[in-house]
Chains A and B, each alone.
Chain A
Amino acid sequence: MFRLRFCLLVLLLVPLTALAERVVRWDFRNPADVIQWNATVTSAVSSTADGLLIRPVGRTVTVFHKGEFPHRIDSMRFTMAAPRGAQGLFLWHIPGTAENEVIQLPFVIQPSVTPMQQMLPLEQIHNWDPRADVIGFAFDAGTEVLLIDVQGMHWSFDERLIEAWKSFWTFDVFTRYSVNFLWGPVLTFTPSARAMLFTQLPPFGWSFNRVLLPFLVVIVAATIVWARVRRSPRETSRAALIAIGCITGAWLLFDVRMGMELLSYAKRDFTTFVMRPLGQRELRYMEDFHDVLDISVTLVDGKKRIGFVSDPRYLLDSAAAYAFYPALVTKTDADQSGIDTWLVYRQPLARVTPSGQLMLDAQPLSPAGGRITQHFGPASFLFTTAP
């Protein structure tokens, strides 16, 4: 009997597998797809063997597709090339609204002569409507973009469940805020959203607790109701044990999930820092800064003051002050007199003049006659005026 029920269950679930990811695609190397799109300024758009070349002159150009789509669109993926980079707008129109009422989503294409694929996780956008009946792109005058293909994707219910399960096991990294709070499992429902999980903050998706806590409340409430209705000690015990089991199972699952995330922090530290030789180590979001510090500290031993030149967005002053102590670290906005050694870290505005003077943009930091004693990486070096 059990085998029959199991087989029936499997057969009932089989049709679900037919509803997998669906993609509507326009390949702009195929003339049959190109004609499905329109342009507001046709002279700025030309169909080539490599795709649709868009070169607005004098005014903004919009290319758009109007009409019913074979399915709802949850996410967009497009392939473009822009040698000088470009900023564009993704546009859509919601059915039932005024014809000229379109919603815009800005995006950036990095400079590249080779095609680059970009994802727009539209399900994260508050006013995205999967039933949009017009979609398009707009580019300003002076842009040059080769549009190669556009894909609109839709995922079925079981696909979304699978994505939610995968996103449950997608971990954050150990960073500045990890000692204050941990996001925990965040459920997303499409591959594009999962790919971007924890890359933007707060992470887009459902906190796992939003699903877990109501589930546990329902279980406990059902237990209480069952006990009151049945009034049988045996039934009450059974219901209570189920509830206890569910709560225990939830705790253990959550612990394993969070434990594995914490262990992933350690694993990353082992592989990027502990196991690498000096000069190749990277520590979390500070990347190679600790390597630079470790090398610099040995080179400036005995100095009383060190100048520190860094992009203030990196917030590295505290780490530098700590590493160099007892030498006192002086920032660029303080008096630099008496300093003969500077650590410059990832500050592209810092340069050494031909006369050997360290400059931060137009501000002189050191007298002339200095030299770089150690190179570290892009815009990072140790500079000294000491003999």
Chain B
Amino acid sequence: MSIVILLAGLAPSIVAGWLLLRAIEGGAPSLLRVEHWAMASLLGPACAMLLAFLANVTVGLPLSRLGFLSVHVVLLGLAVFAWNLRCRSSVSSVSLVSSSPPPRWVRITLWILAGWTTVKILTLASAFLFLTPTFLDDSLDNWNLRAKVFQHEQTFSLSLPGIAMEQQAIDVTSYPPMVPMLKAWLTTLGGEWSEPVANGVHLLWLLTSIALVACAVRRFLSAPWAWLGAYVLCSLPLFLIHGVNTYVDAFLAAHIAAAVLPAWLALRATDDAARGSLLRIAAVMTALLPFTKNEASVLYLPLIAVILIAELLARTGGRRTANALAWYAGAAAVLALPWLVYKWSHGLAFGNAKAVSDVALAWHEGVLQAVVVNTFFEGNWLILFPLFFVLLAWRARHLIRSPERFPILFVLASMAAQLCIFLFTPLAAEAVRQTGLARGLIHLTPIIVVLLLLFIHDTIRPWLPVWAKRSE
């Protein structure tokens, strides 16, 4: 029954997201089919919850079943309207890497890896999302508790049990409400609060990340590599744990991937129409970031903006950059600004349970050691980061002028910024105790996995059989 409610609750917004994306693509469809649905799974629910939030705080639309349904109807209507308005051509501009089919032993190996991955996901998701109660601290104190409050009160609220009114501006109540509102909608649809329904939605974001990674790799390399990318992502223990638990870092990882990957593909595109289409999609997905988690506003959004502008100026010239920026500005005005204005008008903090402006800078001991241990000497990432950094250094000369520079700079800049935050602010405690250290890496994991697969392919290319090489 929980699965039925989840599907029924998510389907309208995902369909709306699909239509909106198609409208944004316009006459140059640039997404793979699976990619399209994956992005729609992020865009649709995000737009629905944004619309519900705006309707609630401006005109007092209750977050009841009828209120949420009406928001979905409006969203679908807008999406259909936009789709009718823009969509004229169905000629796809997506070209995939061609290669000869792999030998049987490769197909069997990939099937075994896929089976192993499926067993892990299904077993863990069943245990942690559907069959056991909410367990983790941040879910009990924040994401799920806020969802319960919204569902019970049928309105967006800054008050939360256990948080004094004077704390609301800087505590978890200052966080973007997308995830709690989505949980509130799904449980409201079911009629009463339901743990499996509220928690089951997290599986969507794990599957979306897998789809985005596989599709991105497929664009660069052959199908076996795409399968390998999906396997590598799910083999990362800490990412998988997050994907099947009720924290929202895997959710943010999916949104960041959805914002960065299209922009990266746009920088690689040789066709103007395809580039424009991908940049428009990237603009919309980037504009949604402030509505996901606080760190998206203060860390990832500025980095994406700065690095992308620099890359666009370097690669495409002033006019095209201006066009792209116009889309980013427009998307931000529609999708990011409302929540940011609300935060600013209510004095809500942009930090992680602590106001950014209240942070005192000083060097903190033990952080570097904690970072090294957490990244290289525990079971969190297998051997992902040693491979990533070694291959990045090995191929630096080739990558310095390639379109891969954008995601690489974004990843490295994000890591550097996170390291500085842990080294120089009181958040060092989160690093030393390892309570928040790896979260930032989880946000970047899908992009890192795509890059890693590319690095591996290009490094071992001389020894690859024909079916495994991408054609030049």
Pair B152/A325 contact, Cβ less than 8 Å: yes
Show 22 A/B contacts (Cβ-Cβ < 8 Å), sorted by A: A179-B136, A180-B434, A181-B434, A183-B378, A209-B377, A209-B378, A247-B387, A251-B383, A254-B383, A258-B379, A259-B237, A261-B237, A262-B241, A263-B119, A270-B127, A270-B131, A283-B132, A283-B135, A286-B135, A321-B140, A321-B162, A322-B140
Pair A262/B132 contact, Cβ less than 8 Å: no
Bound: A263/B126 CA distance, A: 11
Q: Which residues of B contact A210 (CB under 8 A)?
A: 377
Q: List CB contacts (< 8 Å) of B123-142 with chain A.
A: 123-124, 126-128, 131-137, 140-141
Q: Which residues of B contact A284 (CB under 8 A)?
A: 135
Pair B386/A182 contact, Cβ less than 8 Å: no
Pair B380/A184 contact, Cβ less than 8 Å: yes
A102 at the interface (CB under 8 A from B): no
Pair B377/A181 contact, Cβ less than 8 Å: no
**Contacts A176-B137, A259-B120, A274-B131 given: A325-B438 contact, CB under 8 Å?**
no
A105 at the interface (CB under 8 A from B): no
Pair B238/A182 contact, Cβ less than 8 Å: yes
Pair B148/A322 contact, Cβ less than 8 Å: yes
A368-380: CB near B (< 8 Å → 1, else 0) gives 0000000000000
Q: Which residues of A contact B124 (CB under 8 A)?
A: 262-263, 265-266
Q: Which residues of A contact B145 (CB under 8 A)?
A: 321-322, 325
Q: Which residues of A contact B463 (CB under 8 A)?
A: 237, 240-241, 244
Bound: A182/B396 CA distance, A: 31
Pair B152/A207 contact, Cβ less than 8 Å: no
Chain B residues in the interface with A (C-beta under 8 A): 116, 119-120, 123-124, 126-128, 131-137, 140-141, 144-145, 148-149, 152, 161-162, 235, 237-238, 240-242, 245, 247, 373-374, 376-380, 382-383, 386-387, 390, 434-439, 460, 462-463
Pair B437/A180 contact, Cβ less than 8 Å: yes
Q: Which residues of A contact B434 (CB under 8 A)?
A: 177, 180-181
Bound: A155/B377 CA distance, A: 27
A319 at the interface (CB under 8 A from B): yes
Q: How distant is A331 from chain B, measured CB to nearest CB, in Å?
A: 9
Q: Which residues of B contact A247 (CB under 8 A)?
A: 383, 387
Pair B460/A213 contact, Cβ less than 8 Å: no
Bound: A185/B383 CA distance, A: 13
The interface size of chain A toward B, counting residues with CB under 8 Å, comes to 55
Pair B123/A181 contact, Cβ less than 8 Å: no
**Contacts A262-B240, A269-B132 given: A251-B235 contact, CB under 8 Å?**
yes
Pair A179/B242 contact, Cβ less than 8 Å: yes
Q: Which applies to chain A's interface (DSSP): helix, strand, loop or mixed?
A: helix
A205-216: CB near B (< 8 Å → 1, else 0) gives 001111011001
Pair A213/B127 contact, Cβ less than 8 Å: no
Bound: A275/B379 CA distance, A: 29
Chain A residues in the interface with B (C-beta under 8 A): 176-185, 207-210, 212-213, 216, 220, 237, 240-241, 244, 247, 250-251, 254-255, 257-259, 261-263, 265-266, 269-270, 273-274, 283-284, 286, 290, 293-294, 317-319, 321-323, 325-326, 328-329
Name the one of B128, B149, B238, B435 contacting A266, with C-beta atoms under 8 angstroms: B128
Pair B135/A212 contact, Cβ less than 8 Å: no
Pair B235/A328 contact, Cβ less than 8 Å: no
Name the one of A250, A262, A270, A290 contacting B120, with C-beta atoms under 8 angstroms: A262
Pair A244/B148 contact, Cβ less than 8 Å: no
Pair B378/A179 contact, Cβ less than 8 Å: no
Return the chain A residue nearest B434 by Cβ.
A181
Q: Which residues of A contact B438 (CB under 8 A)?
A: 180-181
Name the one of B120, B135, B380 contacting A181, with C-beta atoms under 8 angstroms: B380
Q: Which residues of A contact B379 (CB under 8 A)?
A: 182-185, 208, 254, 257-258, 261
Bound: A259/B124 CA distance, A: 10
Return the chain A residue nearest B245 by Cβ.
A179
Pair A181/B132 contact, Cβ less than 8 Å: no
Q: How distant is A274 from chain B, measured CB to nearest CB, in Å?
A: 5
Pair A258/B237 contact, Cβ less than 8 Å: yes
Q: Which residues of A contact B235 (CB under 8 A)?
A: 251, 255, 258-259
Q: Which residues of B contact A251 (CB under 8 A)?
A: 235, 382-383
Bound: A259/B96 CA distance, A: 32
Q: Which residues of A contact B238 (CB under 8 A)?
A: 181-182
Q: Which residues of B contact A241 (CB under 8 A)?
A: 463
* Number of A-B residue pairs at CB separation under 8 A: 144
Pair A255/B133 contact, Cβ less than 8 Å: no
**Contacts A255-B382, A273-B132 given: A181-B374 contact, CB under 8 Å?**
yes
Pair A266/B437 contact, Cβ less than 8 Å: no
Bound: A387/B141 CA distance, A: 33
Bound: A179/B139 CA distance, A: 12
Q: Which residues of B contact A259 (CB under 8 A)?
A: 116, 120, 235, 237
Return the chain A residue nearest B231 by Cβ.
A255
Pair B386/A216 contact, Cβ less than 8 Å: yes
Q: How distant is A255 from chain B, measured CB to nearest CB, in Å?
A: 4
Bound: A240/B459 CA distance, A: 11
Bound: A321/B241 CA distance, A: 25
Pair A325/B126 contact, Cβ less than 8 Å: no
Q: Which residues of A contact B136 (CB under 8 A)?
A: 176, 179
Q: How distant is B283 from chain A, measured CB to nearest CB, in Å?
A: 32
Return the chain A residue nearest B247 by Cβ.
A179
Pair A274/B245 contact, Cβ less than 8 Å: no
Pair B120/A263 contact, Cβ less than 8 Å: yes
Give the most central of A185, A208, A250, A255: most B CB within 10 Å: A255
Give the most central of A184, A213, A240, A247: most B CB within 10 Å: A184
Pair A266/B245 contact, Cβ less than 8 Å: no
Give the most central of B123, B145, B435, B462: most A CB within 10 Å: B123
Q: Which residues of B contact A274 (CB under 8 A)?
A: 127, 131-132
Bound: A229/B386 CA distance, A: 26
Q: Which residues of A contact B141 (CB under 8 A)?
A: 318, 322
**Contacts A270-B127, A322-B148, A329-B161 given: A178-B241 contact, CB under 8 Å?**
yes
Q: Which residues of A contact B247 (CB under 8 A)?
A: 179
Bound: A276/B250 CA distance, A: 31
Pair B152/A318 contact, Cβ less than 8 Å: no
Bound: A325/B151 CA distance, A: 11
Q: How distant is A301 from chain B, measured CB to nearest CB, in Å?
A: 12
Return the chain B residue nearest A266 by Cβ.
B127
Q: Which residues of A contact B240 (CB under 8 A)?
A: 262
Return the chain B residue nearest A213 by Cβ.
B386
Give the most central of A179, A265, A274: most B CB within 10 Å: A179
Bound: A212/B386 CA distance, A: 11
Bound: A258/B7 CA distance, A: 31
Bound: A320/B435 CA distance, A: 22
Q: Which residues of B contact A207 (CB under 8 A)?
A: 373, 377-378
Q: How distant is A54 from chain B, measured CB to nearest CB, in Å?
A: 42
Q: Report the 5 A-B pairs with minimum CB-CB distance, sorted nearest first.
A: A184-B379, A266-B127, A318-B140, A182-B379, A258-B237
Pair A180/B127 contact, Cβ less than 8 Å: no
Q: Which residues of B contact A326 (CB under 8 A)?
A: 148, 152
Pair B152/A179 contact, Cβ less than 8 Å: no
Given contacts A244-B460, A262-B237, 8 further A-B contacts (CB under 8 A): A180-B434, A180-B435, A181-B437, A255-B382, A265-B127, A273-B131, A318-B162, A328-B161
Give the most central of A185, A266, A269, A283: most B CB within 10 Å: A266
Bound: A250/B116 CA distance, A: 17
